[in-house]
């Protein structure tokens, strides 16, 4: 079974669905490569207007990196190779010249929240929870999530989400400004997402591209890229710590 489902609507939406329900839609190298290729295709295809990322099923949007695969990474160098690969993909997602949406059909934790933060908009079902829980694993955000969060949210809201390192209800995350629209859990989430996107889809692709290009210029600087990848390197340092090793071991034994 493919780890990713890809669809394109006639109205210009590309739906990228992580299809690993047995792993709560955790990201592995197959998902990384598929996302990288999808970003490239969306960037180059003038008929695509919006990219929507979501997860299969109703339980999880994305549970971050697949620790059952990444637990083999022990040294700073090994960790940085994986972290910088996904970080570069999220940087491409952040700066893509098309509007992007993270459609949170279920919970999002850790790297799943970093993935969602890279998108322009976050729509979420009521009743779900999401959180930057990296601190509970003895590490920090490792895919550029904190750098993006401080760009997109008020300082105290962003810092609070990172320091608490816990799951919060989507309603509270909406108040913080991280979630932009709440969708009733009784509604069909993809249809509701499509309704929210209708005003954007009514515009031409060149108009959407022009506005998005204007928006992301501030992130296409050496200063921003430097901060982005310095964050990733810091996570790699913490990755080889005893605290992280023990936290991962406890997580895998519990799973």
**pLDDT tens-digit profile of 97-145?**
999 999 999 999 999 999 999 999 999 999 999 999 999 999 999 999 9
| Mean pLDDT score, 204-224 | 97
**pLDDT tens-digit profile of 70-101?**
878 889 999 999 999 999 999 999 999 999 99
Which residues are CB-contacts of 80 (< 8 A; sequence separation ≥ 6)? 232, 233, 236
Count the neighbouring beta carbons within 10 Å of the beta carbon of residue 35: 22
**pLDDT at res. 255:** 67
Which residues are CB-contacts of 81 (< 8 A; sequence separation ≥ 6)? 73
> Per-residue pLDDT for 249 more than 70?
yes
Assigned CATH for 4-201: 3.90.226.10
| Mean pLDDT score, 36-46 | 97
Indicate the pTM of the whole model. 0.97
| Mean pLDDT score, 143-167 | 98
| Mean pLDDT score, 41-46 | 96
> Per-residue pLDDT for 252 more than 90?
no
| Mean pLDDT score, 170-189 | 96
**pLDDT at res. 99:** 98
Count the neighbouring beta carbons within 10 Å of the beta carbon of residue 162: 19
**Boundaries of every domain in the chain:** 4-201
């Amino acid at each position: 079974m493919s780890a990713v489902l890809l669809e394109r609507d006639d109205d210009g939406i590309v739906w990228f669905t992580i299809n690993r329900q047995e792993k709560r839609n955790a990201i592995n190298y197959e998902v990384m490569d598929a996302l990288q290729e999808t970003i490239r295709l969306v960037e180059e295809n003038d008929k695509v207007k919006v990219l929507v990322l979501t997860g299969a099923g109703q339980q999880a949007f994305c549970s971050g990196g697949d620790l059952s695969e990444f637990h083999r990474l022990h040294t700073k160098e090994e960790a940085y190779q994986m972290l910088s690969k996904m970080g570069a993909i999220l940087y491409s997602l952040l700066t893509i010249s098309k509007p992007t949406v993270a459609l949170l059909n279920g919970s999002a934790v850790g790297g799943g929240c970093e993935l969602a933060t890279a998108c322009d908009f976050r729509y979420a079902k009521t009743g779900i929870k999401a959180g930057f829980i990296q601190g509970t694993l003895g590490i920090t955000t490792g895919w550029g999530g904190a750098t993006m969060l401080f760009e997109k949210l008020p300082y105290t809201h962003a810092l609070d989400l990172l320091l608490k390192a816990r799951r919060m209800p989507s309603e509270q995350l909406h108040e913080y400004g991280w979630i932009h629209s709440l969708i009733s859990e009784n509604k069909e989430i993809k249809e509701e997402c499509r309704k929210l996107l209708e005003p954007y889809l009514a515009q031409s692709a060149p108009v959407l591209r022009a506005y998005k290009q204007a928006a992301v210029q501030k992130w296409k600087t050496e200063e921003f890229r430097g901060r982005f990848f310095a964050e990733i390197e810091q996570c790699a340092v913490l990755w080889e710590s005893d605290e992280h090793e023990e936290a991962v071991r406890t997580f895998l034994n519990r799973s």
